[in-house]
Chains A and B, each alone.
Chain A
Amino acid sequence: MFEYFGYIALGVLGTVGVTFGALAIGTVVGMPLAWLRRSRHAIVRMPAVAVIEVLRGVPNLVWLFLVFFGLPQIGIRLDPWSSAILTLGVASAAHIAEIYRGGLAGLSRGQWEASDALGLSRMDRRRLIVLPQMQRVIVPTMATYAIGLLKDSALASTIGVVELTFRGGVVTQRTGDGLTTFLVVGVVYLLLSLPLALAARRVDSRMRAKFSVG
């Protein structure tokens, strides 16, 4: 078992790669999605609501199989890595859009009115007033979401992405010791999520210290 530890540890690269690739896509695609979702016009808002609900309603594994096994039927062939990063990325955009929305909803209307009263431009209002306050609400939620995504990246192993869980399967096949192997793999995930968990908690307590009212 020990001689395989290096082989398993190398899977960290794949797992972190899929996680951050998907997270990058999600944070970017989530922005326009959140913005459309908040539109005053139902014609714009409703399609955004529908996209978010469908993306969240269908499990990630199903999206993954749709893209990897399904799309070739209409001539779109993606390799396992691109399929995993793209699929998890787009699916997480829906969740991240809702996180952004939660951050915006936390700001009172007075913030916008006060910025207008001070004569700030739209750009300055966004940069100086809205984003810094949103960030406080969003960062812990995003960190928590990133931990979830890290664990979801294990799904990529089912379509042949050679990351932590996949390597665990290979080692189990070779040694027959699935108990030790998958316990090691599981603990590696736990260790990987620690920095994110600490980030979430630190920002969280700093925020509470700052807004200790109520």
Chain B
Amino acid sequence: MGMFEEFIGDLVALAPGLRNAAQLAATTIALAYPLGLLLGVLLDNRVRLVRIATLVVVELGRGMPLLVILYLVYRGLPEVGVRLDAMPSAIIAFTWSIGAYSADMFRSSIHAIPPGQREAAIASGLNARDTLRFILLPQAARIAIPPLMNLAIITFQLTSLAYAITLPEIMHAAYLRGSVTFRYLDTFVVAAVLYAVVAIPAALLVRRLERRLSRHLA
């Protein structure tokens, strides 16, 4: 078999893995960012208990390695009678971790808005909720977009960790393929290419967008 056929064979073997990886990444983003926005706002809540509880959730989500969180959900929850498949486990673990990261981004974006904006909103008679909704969040969104897009790329790359809980993503497929052909190197190179062709152009795009969004600030 020629090298080209081998390459195509590897690609075909890894394709379902790419689909699962994309599905995990997309679901995570869809759940984690709204959660992160909520957590980010709650981090500044007036009630001390809410603030502390939120901080614990965020710091655990950010401070524990994602691999450990994956094990915690997949191998830990059965202890309390919750037995989940690999995909739901991965979605829970990823949402916690990525949500916690994005919470910090949302919060620091809100904090990056000049204090005069909030003061002016209050002086205009807006209440706290409307100030957040009409004045702070629209401006924070603009600041938060590039880091959130970067986090989305990182999320896609991190789906490789779900290999550890037997989710049939790219690495899982590559390992299986390797155990049949014994060409582990070739197959993992193909896996690397799959990640790179998504992550590198996406990262370049985000950087261009970042420059565009900050043009008026220069």
Please name all residues of chain B whose beta carbon is closer than 8 Å to the beta carbon of A92 when the two chains form the complex: none
> Measured between C-beta atoms, what is the minimum distance from A80 to chain B in Å?
15
> Measured between C-beta atoms, what is the minimum distance from A140 to chain B in Å?
14
Please name all residues of chain A whose beta carbon is closer than 8 Å to the beta carbon of B186 when the two chains form the complex: 73
**Stretch in contact with the other chain, from B3-11, B56-64, B126-134, B135-143:** B56-64
Known contacts A57-B196, A178-B71, A182-B72: A70-B188 contact under CB 8 Å: yes
Q: Can you list, as one digit per residue, whether each of B78-107 has a CB less than 8 Å from chain A (1) or not (0)?
A: 111000000000000000000000000000
Q: Let me know if B65 and A172 touch, CB within 8 A.
A: no
Please name all residues of chain B whose beta carbon is closer than 8 Å to the beta carbon of A157 when the two chains form the complex: 67
Q: Let me know if B200 and A70 touch, CB within 8 A.
A: no
> Measured between C-beta atoms, what is the minimum distance from B186 to chain A in Å?
8
Please name all residues of chain A whose beta carbon is closer than 8 Å to the beta carbon of B158 when the two chains form the complex: 59
> How many positions in chain A have a CB within 8 Å of any CB in the partner chain?
42
Q: Let me know if B71 and A62 touch, CB within 8 A.
A: no
Q: How far is the CA of A181 from the CA of B78 in the complex (A)?
A: 13
Which residue of A has the minimal Cβ distance to B197? A57
Q: Can you list, as one digit per residue, whether each of A31-54 has a CB less than 8 Å from chain B (1) or not (0)?
A: 000000000000000000000011
* 28 pairs of residues in contact across A and B, judged by CB atoms under 8 Å: A53-B200, A53-B203, A58-B196, A61-B163, A61-B171, A62-B171, A66-B185, A66-B192, A69-B184, A69-B188, A70-B188, A71-B185, A73-B185, A73-B186, A151-B63, A154-B67, A155-B67, A157-B67, A158-B163, A165-B67, A172-B75, A177-B76, A178-B79, A179-B77, A179-B80, A181-B76, A186-B72, A193-B63
A209 located at the interface, meaning its Cβ lies under 8 Å from any Cβ of chain B in the complex: no
Q: Can you list, as one digit per residue, whether each of B161-198 has a CB less than 8 Å from chain A (1) or not (0)?
A: 10110000001001100100011111011011001100
Q: Could you tell me which B residues sit within 8 Å of A by CB distance?
A: 59-60, 63-69, 71-72, 75-80, 157-158, 160-161, 163-164, 171, 174-175, 178, 182-186, 188-189, 191-192, 195-196, 199-200, 203
Please name all residues of chain B whose beta carbon is closer than 8 Å to the beta carbon of A74 when the two chains form the complex: 185
Which residue of A has the minimal Cβ distance to B72? A182
Known contacts A181-B76, A182-B72: A59-B195 contact under CB 8 Å: yes
> Measured between C-beta atoms, what is the minimum distance from B126 to chain A in Å?
28
Q: How far is the CA of A155 from the CA of B164 in the complex (A)?
A: 9
Q: Can you list, as one digit per residue, whether each of A134-166 has a CB less than 8 Å from chain B (1) or not (0)?
A: 000000000000000001111101100000010
Q: List the 4 shortest-distance A-B pairs measured between CB atoms, nearest first.
A: A186-B64, A70-B185, A179-B76, A178-B75
Contact of B183 among A53, A73, A179 (CB under 8 A): A73
> Measured between C-beta atoms, what is the minimum distance from A8 to chain B in Å?
12
Which residue of B has the minimal Cβ distance to A72? B184
Q: Let me know if B184 and A70 touch, CB within 8 A.
A: yes
Please name all residues of chain B whose beta carbon is closer than 8 Å to the beta carbon of A57 when the two chains form the complex: 195-196, 199-200, 203
A20 located at the interface, meaning its Cβ lies under 8 Å from any Cβ of chain B in the complex: no
Which residue of A has the minimal Cβ distance to B63? A190
Q: Can you list, as one digit per residue, whether each of A47-90 has a CB less than 8 Å from chain B (1) or not (0)?
A: 00000011011110111011001111110000000000000000
Which residue of B has the minimal Cβ distance to A176? B79
Please name all residues of chain A whose beta carbon is closer than 8 Å to the beta carbon of B80 when the two chains form the complex: 179
Q: Can you list, as one digit per residue, whether each of A11-39 has a CB less than 8 Å from chain B (1) or not (0)?
A: 00000000000000000000000000000
Please name all residues of chain A whose beta carbon is closer than 8 Å to the beta carbon of B78 when the two chains form the complex: 178
Known contacts A157-B67, A165-B71: A186-B195 contact under CB 8 Å: no
Which residue of A has the minimal Cβ distance to B179? A69
> Measured between C-beta atoms, what is the minimum distance from B218 to chain A in Å?
14
Known contacts A57-B200, A182-B75: A189-B195 contact under CB 8 Å: no
A59-B160, A190-B60 given; name 18 further pairs at CB < 8 Å: A59-B157, A61-B171, A62-B191, A62-B192, A66-B192, A69-B184, A70-B185, A151-B65, A155-B67, A158-B164, A165-B67, A172-B71, A172-B76, A178-B77, A182-B76, A185-B68, A190-B59, A190-B63
Q: How far is the CA of A70 from the CA of B189 in the complex (A)?
A: 9
Q: Let me know if B160 and A151 touch, CB within 8 A.
A: no
